[in-house]
Amino acid sequence: MLNKVSIHSLRTNYLGPSLSTSYQDPLHIVKGEGQYLYDADETQYLDAVNNIQHVGHSHPKVVEAANQQIKKLNTNTRYLDEVIVNYAQALTAKLPDGLDVCYFTNSGSEANDLALRLARHFTDSKETIVLDGAYHGHLISLIEISPYKHNGPGGIGAPAYVHAVPMPDPFRGKYRGVASDEKYAQEVSKILNSIQKNGGQVSIFIAESIMGCGGQLIPPDNFLKSAYQLVRGSGGLCIADEIQIGFGRMGDNYWGFETQDVVPDIVTMGKSMGNGHPLSAVVTTREIADEFDNGMEYFNSFGGNPVSCAVGHAVLNVIDEEGLQKNALETGGTLKVLLNQLKQKHAIIGDVRGHGLFLGIELVRDPETLEPAGSEADRIVNEMKENGILLSTDGPDHNVIKIKPPMVFTEENALFLVEILDNILARN
Ligand code: PMP
């Protein structure tokens, strides 16, 4: 087996230099099981951050489903196949009525790109409203609508058709407090007015109902509801990006948009959907799908292949069979309470937020100025890793520690995480 140093040098020689690795001393992980990862020295790490391995690393039922199907057949959507239709039926059963037409794709980015195509076609427009700080994918079309990328290092800013609402951050945003929802909604109105004044027509409002890369950010109550109403009132469609937050992770709800009491016109999903297998989807209404059926075929070589669908179906089943949404609610709830107790002890913790097993700890240098503690967050995450717990940071100032473990995370895991974090914060 190659050692870390050799792998590192081969990466440098053969992989694109814009790829990054996690942690100051990168990990050489060779095995995953449940909520644990193991490096080449057999050191065990508690994985508190990989939301893609939703039902646990290498879940036996998911592995078995892939194995059985790949041994039998793997083709594409141009053949009649019961695996794809059974999965589409089971997936849409998890969504509100009306959201019942599926397109299968292979990554979150592909799903979002297709969602943009559907919406642009339906509205005959491209004008797009996004949340500042949002990330929706790595394709050109998505970097254009992702302020996280186009306003970040190497970015060239937003194209004229993209309009960003200030990040609806009730803790440290442009408007603060629980009643800031109206102010953020007014920003949406302002954008809609300016699109209209310039002779345009709004096409899309796309948002994660809880922002991931934005820093595990919960918008103030009613903001999304108002935004959806305003956008729809002007003839636009609302896309919910569920790529990070869907499939029971919220605990109280199966989908992130349900936590905000909205129903989108188009939903995109990915990451956790295949537990690491490249599977994603766009789900929309019959009306939008029929409008898109304009003669140009939608074909995707891999999207909706029977192996991917068998994997996706197994993931859905495991979530239900193992009660993982309930676990997210209970274990995530306990963890949030414990983290809030830490907040009372350590002034650097400015805010603890999230739903279920999708939590964020925002670090600040000063409780008054709320100066973001980005380098501290990075140091703490590296120290946590040295103590066997994997986390990461995000948000525009990289000062939010993200907790989004495989959903099999236990209360014992939560207690361990909090104990180690408490020790590290006490030393820092
Ligand atoms: N949308 C969101 C909210 C994401 O977090 C991501 C990935 N981080 C994407 C879209 C893109 O997904 P992928 O990396 O699978 O293309």
> If you measure from the C-alpha of residue 285 to the centroid of ligand 1, how many angstroms do you get, rounded to a whole number?
22
Q: Give the burial class of 197: count Cβ atoms within 10 A of its Cβ; 0-12 exposed, 13-18 middle, 19 or more buried.
A: exposed
174 close to 396: Cβ distance less than 8 angstroms: no
Q: Would you give the distance in Å from CA 382 to the centre of its chain?
A: 22
Q: Pairing relation of β-strands 101-105 and 400-403?
A: unpaired
What pLDDT, on a 0 to 100 scale, did the predictor assign at position 262?
Answer: 98
**C-beta 256 within 6 A of ligand 1:** no
**C-beta 246 within 6 A of ligand 1:** no
Q: 10 Å Cβ neighbour count for 193?
A: 11
303 close to 278: Cβ distance less than 8 angstroms: no
**C-beta 57 within 6 A of ligand 1:** no
Q: In terms of DSSP H, where are the helices of 15-94?
A: 60-72, 82-92
CA distance 198 to 191: 11
> If you measure from the C-alpha of residue 367 to the centroid of ligand 1, how many angstroms do you get, rounded to a whole number?
32
CA distance 79 to 291: 23
Query: Within a 13 Å sphere around the CA of 184, how many CA atoms are in the beta-carbon half?
Result: 30
What torsion do the CA atoms of 131, 137, 139, 140 make, to the nearest 10 degrees? 20
What torsion do the CA atoms of 194, 198, 201, 203 make, to the nearest 10 degrees? -60
Burial annotation 67-102 (CB, 10 A radius, 16+ → b, else e): eebeeeeeeebeeebebbeebbeebbebbeeebbbb
**C-beta 305 within 6 A of ligand 1:** no
Q: Would you write out the chain's pLDDT as a tens digit for each of its 428 residues?
A: 899 999 999 999 999 999 999 999 999 999 999 999 999 999 999 999 999 999 999 999 999 999 999 999 999 999 999 999 999 999 999 999 999 999 999 999 999 999 999 999 999 999 999 999 999 999 999 999 999 999 999 999 999 999 999 999 999 999 999 999 999 999 999 999 999 999 999 999 999 999 999 999 999 999 999 999 999 999 999 999 999 999 999 999 999 999 999 999 999 999 999 999 999 999 999 999 999 999 999 999 999 999 999 999 999 999 999 999 999 999 999 999 999 999 999 999 999 999 999 999 999 999 999 999 999 999 999 999 999 999 999 999 999 999 999 999 999 999 999 999 999 999 97
CA distance 413 to 419: 10
**C-beta 138 within 6 A of ligand 1:** yes
The residue contributing the CA closest to ligand 1 atom 10 is: 136
**C-beta 313 within 6 A of ligand 1:** no
314 close to 299: Cβ distance less than 8 angstroms: no
**C-beta 358 within 6 A of ligand 1:** no
- Closest ligand 1 atom to residue 112 Cα is 10
pLDDT digits (tens, 9 = 90+) for 104-149: 999 999 999 999 999 999 999 999 999 999 999 999 999 999 999 9
Mutate to test the pocket of ligand 1, among 271, 273, 275, 302 (most ligand atoms within 8 A of CB): 271
**C-beta 31 within 6 A of ligand 1:** no
What lies within 8 Å, CB to CB, of 5 at 6+ separation is: none
Q: 10 Å Cβ neighbour count for 207?
A: 28
What pLDDT, on a 0 to 100 scale, did the predictor assign at position 428?
Answer: 74
Task: From residue 176, give the alpha-carbon distance in Å to each of 103, 173, 181, 189, 209.
Answer: 38, 6, 9, 18, 18
What pLDDT, on a 0 to 100 scale, did the predictor assign at position 1?
Answer: 86
**C-beta 109 within 6 A of ligand 1:** yes
